Amino acid sequence: MRVSWPTDAQSLLLWSQLLLAWVFVAYFAAGDSPIVEKSEQQIAKTSIWYWVRAPFLLLLLLLIIQEYGLRTWVLLIILLTLVVALPHGRAYLARSGHPWGAEFEILINLIVVLSTATLLPTAGEAGRALIRIPLPPGRLAAIFLALASLGFLGRGGNHVVRGILTRTDSIPLLTSGKTKTIDIDEYNRGRVIGTIERLIMAAIVATGAYSALAFLIGAKGLIRSKEFENRDFAEYFLIGTLSSAALAFLFGFILRGIFTLLW
């Protein structure tokens, strides 16, 4: 079994399609919501949807790939295993209280990127386009890679930031008497704002308009400045914002590299 790395336009196009299919199923299918509470009942409600991902991803991969050699079957097994293991792993970490959510999310996706790159079917006519677009393969690959990157940044970034907040014990809490529970409303509000923020910041970095970054972060802080008197909220806000910004910067540079090399 020969292991290679995609270098020509056709191989890059096939690789980008596989990554986009992975992101679509892993992050936009049912059962993707970050698990905030650790209750068995809540986790059980969504766990049935975890298994639906595998046949859906398999269908997309079979539509994209035309050549079925040993490498292809190994790749299919890896991807189908990971797409089911990802949500189950999140549920286990939430239930057990282990603060490895961010590392787990990043590791799974690194394995996907490396396995799809090194176990690609033979270049050339190995893949088929689900939709015909009149653009050169290199530019199509750039578009698909950008969509996959933005998809992970928007939805996968929520899980990474959630893991970082858990590790630093900075999840927003509601105090009721002597008990503290997770502030679901604040957490969900932060998820939505964080997703929009990361996408905007990544676009700003990709286009090199760095002066707009200071305005964006400053405006966000100004709007909620009165709440900074609460130390717990201030830590949650600061850690969440910096984590989102770091991801946005990383993917902004990735997007710039993609379009510089392939467009």
pLDDT in tens, 20-67: 999 999 998 765 665 555 445 555 566 677 788 899 999 999 888 877
Question: What 3-state class would DSSP assign to 175?
Answer: strand
Contact indicator for 29, 53 with CB cutoff of 8 Å: yes
- The answer to whether position 2 is within a domain reads no
Q: Record the pTM.
A: 0.86
- The answer to whether position 65 is within a domain reads yes
- The answer to whether position 1 is within a domain reads no
- The answer to whether position 4 is within a domain reads no
Structural domain harbouring 169: 9-262
- The answer to whether position 27 is within a domain reads yes
State how far the alpha carbon of 224 is from the alpha carbons of 40, 50, 141, 173, in Å: 34, 36, 40, 17
Q: pLDDT value at position 173?
A: 67
- The answer to whether position 169 is within a domain reads yes
In the chain, the amino acid numbered 92 is: Y
Chain segment 125-138, per-residue pLDDT in tens: 445 555 567 778 88
State how far the alpha carbon of 263 is from the alpha carbons of 25, 144, 200, 207, in Å: 26, 12, 21, 14
Beta-carbon neighbour count of residue 193 at 10 Å? 16
Chain segment 70-80, per-residue pLDDT in tens: 888 999 999 99
Q: DSSP alpha helices (H): ranges in 65-136?
A: 70-96, 101-118
Contact indicator for 66, 10 with CB cutoff of 8 Å: no
- The answer to whether position 63 is within a domain reads yes
Q: pLDDT value at position 29?
A: 79
Please tell me the total count of domains within the chain. Answer: 1
- The answer to whether position 3 is within a domain reads no
CA distance 13 to 143: 9
Q: Among positive and negative, which fits the CA dihedral 80, 85, 86, 91?
A: positive
CA distance 2 to 5: 10
The alpha-carbon radius of gyration of the chain (Å, integer) is: 20
In the chain, the amino acid numbered 157 is: G
